[in-house]
Structure 1
Amino acid sequence: MEEFAMSQNDVHPFDARGVAKRFRHAAIFGALESLEDGEVMRFVNDHDPLPLLGQIQQRYGNQVGISYVAREPGNIVIDFTIQLGAPATAGAPAAAGAAGSCSGTSGQGCGCSGG
């Protein structure tokens, strides 16, 4: 069985500390929507963005995987992985009422326009 090794080219850094607070969520959503299936955005921040994670879950469901790489005070690193083959709903109550789902088509990125 062949193992899949993620290339560093598939991991795109996003340091939220350098983005003005009023633009931050829009910039993050735009970055996620520009990724293709299987690509990862490595998000870095100085605090745990729990409200943002809830918004991502509502907006994209399971089609954006969330995985902490580091979760220490002042050093939060999260990998957001685009998973277009995943069911659109996350199964959690917060995602059940999502207005739309990620429906990218054959390498065209996430494709979500938000709500």
Structure 2
Amino acid sequence: MSTDTLLDASVHIFDARGVARRFRHAAIFGALDALHPGETMRFFNDHNPLPLIAQLRDRFGDKLTFTYRQTNPDLTVIDISVADLSVKARDKHAEGGCCGSCG
């Protein structure tokens, strides 16, 4: 990961290494709940959080995407992005289908 890359305003840093392990998952869920569609949480951790990612997929489904930016033994950096579901809905309707929110 390049350290000279400037962060976009839609990318928010979350460094889990500074959060007590006991509170990490709750803090991460809260941070993701606060994001708007199109925003990204750049997540820093001291290990690859595979169980957490499984929990996030269960809770948020297709709303989140995960992009690994760096993985090594002491640091994992993942961009967790919130999908703009309204775009998917518009695309689905353009194809003649239903997004499931029509009622």
Using structure 1 for the length normalisation, give the TM-score. 0.67
From the CA coordinates, give the structure whose radius of gyration is larger. Answer: 2
Give, in angstroms, the shift of residue 81 of structure 1: 0.2
Q: Which letter does structure 2 place at the counterpart of 1:34?
A: A
Give the 4+ runs in structure 1 shifted more than 2 A.
Answer: none
Residue equivalent to 1:66: 66
Looking at structure 1, the residues matched to 58 and 17 of structure 2 have their Cα atoms a distance apart, in angstroms, of 23
Percent same amino acid at aligned positions?
Answer: 51
Unaligned runs of 5+ in 2: 1-6, 90-103
Q: Distance in 2 between matches of 1:46 and 1:70?
A: 11
Q: Deviations over 1:3-31 (max 9, x none)?
A: xxxx6111000000000111100000000
Task: Note the C-alpha offset of 1:75.
Answer: 1.2
Partner of 2:44: 44
1:85-100 aligned within 5 A: 85=85
Counterpart CA distance in 1 for 2:8 and 2:18 is 22
Give the Å deviation of 1:56.
0.4
Which residue pairs with 1:91 in the alignment? none
Root-mean-square deviation (Å) = 1.4
The match for 1:76 is 76
Paired residue for 2:10? 10
Match of residue 55 from structure 1: 55
**Could you tell me how far 1:71 is from its partner in structure 2?**
1.1
- Give TM-score scaled by structure 2 length: 0.74
Deviation (angstroms), 1:62: 1.1
In 2, the alpha carbon distance for the partners of 1:52 and 1:66 equals: 12
How many residue pairs get aligned? The number is 81
